[in-house]
Amino acid sequence: MLFIYHFFSSFLALQKNNKDVNLKNININFHSIAFFEEVNQIDTNQISEGVNKLGEKYPDFSSIYFNNLTGFGIQKNYDLFLKSMYHFLTFKDYTDLYDSVKKVFPDTKKSDAALAELFKHIKYYYPNEKWGTVYYFISGLNRYSAVTVDTTLGIGLDMFLGKDYPYYASIGLAQYETEHCIPENIPVLASKVIFEDKWEMNPEGKKLLDLMIYAGKQMTFMEYTLPKSSDELLIGYSKTQLGWCQENEKMIWSFFKKNELLYSSELQKVIRYVMDGPSSTGMPPESPGNIGTYIGWQIVRSYLKNNPEIKWTEIMDSPMDSQTFLTASKYKP
């Protein structure tokens, strides 16, 4: 009887949380804009006119781009902004960067297809969501990989030029960070920021367990909206790093409990475990960073497995506190 129930429960869980969904009847209004091309075409003798035209054509994104993404502050000192834009567009480093972007992305067809697939999956699970417009931009290596503006997505192509792009080191990116600067990561970062846009969380005052469950939910959102992506791509690990976490999952969990980290709300002490890093503080040197996110992901997976009547989308807005969630997950590495 127990076997029959277990089989039925597993089958029910698969039915409710099946990642292989039919998108045939899911329609989105997908539109991508090579915004960086239009910025590059601005006449440097008439920058004000060029910026104004883009502002009229793309009012919402232009404002964010010229004020925040470039860091020039169009809304602060307009004359200084125009001078900054002139130097930006005529600076050799920018023209070299533009050429590098064009070399890696002669077109955006591959990224368009991946993002359209992402948007369709989001709409499948959340029919009222209206993601469909993508702006491709160059921020001048300002570290903006993916941003959201309402239901519009911005992708900074200059942050996806490949892990060996030589100038990433000049802006202070460590090797573990440049590993993520690959075109294949575009839909991954897109899914990540869309989650953060929809379920924003302030880490101040939160316990590590809160942060881990939140990160685990984020990974689950990414897992279901990007069902063809591997676990290592989703979490940003190499196969070796993911294998290390899988083999040492029990040890990682024991480390958090033994060092009384799970219920600590000292942000500087705990935030490191849910962020990228070369390794994890207090763990063996071969450990990857972000191990709290990995464990949080496994807790959410355990919860869905042991509560087969619950759809994964239901836990996203659940008011359940992290301790209750952990208990209900029956997580045992």
pLDDT value of position 184: 98
Residue 189 lies in a domain: no
Same domain for 129 and 222?
no
Residue 314 lies in a domain: yes
- Model pTM score: 0.92
CA distance linking residue 111 with residue 159, whole number of Å: 14
CA distance linking residue 26 with residue 176, whole number of Å: 37
pLDDT value of position 190: 98
Residue 22 lies in a domain: no
Average pLDDT, stretch 228-245?
A: 98
Phi-psi region of 287 (alpha: psi -120 to 50; beta: other; left: phi over 0): beta
Same domain for 176 and 279?
no
Domain closes at, from 149, 183, 217: 183
Find out whether 331 and 298 touch, Cβ atoms under 8 Å: yes
Same domain for 160 and 222?
no
Same domain for 175 and 218?
no
Residue 200 lies in a domain: no
Same domain for 163 and 224?
no
Residue 196 lies in a domain: no
Same domain for 228 and 149?
no
Same domain for 57 and 153?
yes
Q: Which of 105, 98, 100, 94 is nearest to 183 (CA)?
A: 105
pLDDT value of position 9: 44
Question: Which run of H or E residues covers position 215?
Answer: helix 208-225
User: What pLDDT band is residue 309 in, cutting at 50, 70 and 90?
Assistant: very high
Residues 6+ apart with CB under 8 A from 295: 212, 216, 249, 252, 253, 256, 333
Same domain for 166 and 263?
no
Strands 146-149 and 31-33 come out as unpaired
Domain closes at, from 147, 168, 183: 183
CA distance linking residue 99 with residue 73, whole number of Å: 25
Residue 3 lies in a domain: no
Same domain for 161 and 59?
yes
Q: Which of 181, 110, 189 is nearest to 148 (CA)?
A: 189
pLDDT higher than 70, residue 110:
yes
Find out whether 223 and 175 touch, Cβ atoms under 8 Å: no
Local structure of 43: helix, strand or coil: coil
Residue 192 lies in a domain: no
pLDDT value of position 71: 84
Residue 93 lies in a domain: yes
Same domain for 39 and 122?
yes
**Average pLDDT value over all residues in the chain:** 93
**Residue 301's domain spans which residues?**
208-329
- The number of folded domains in the chain is 2
What is the DSSP secondary-structure string of 99-140? HHHHHH-S--HHHHHHHHHHHHHHHHH-TT----EEEEE--S
Structure tokens, 154 = 């911005």
Same domain for 174 and 68?
yes
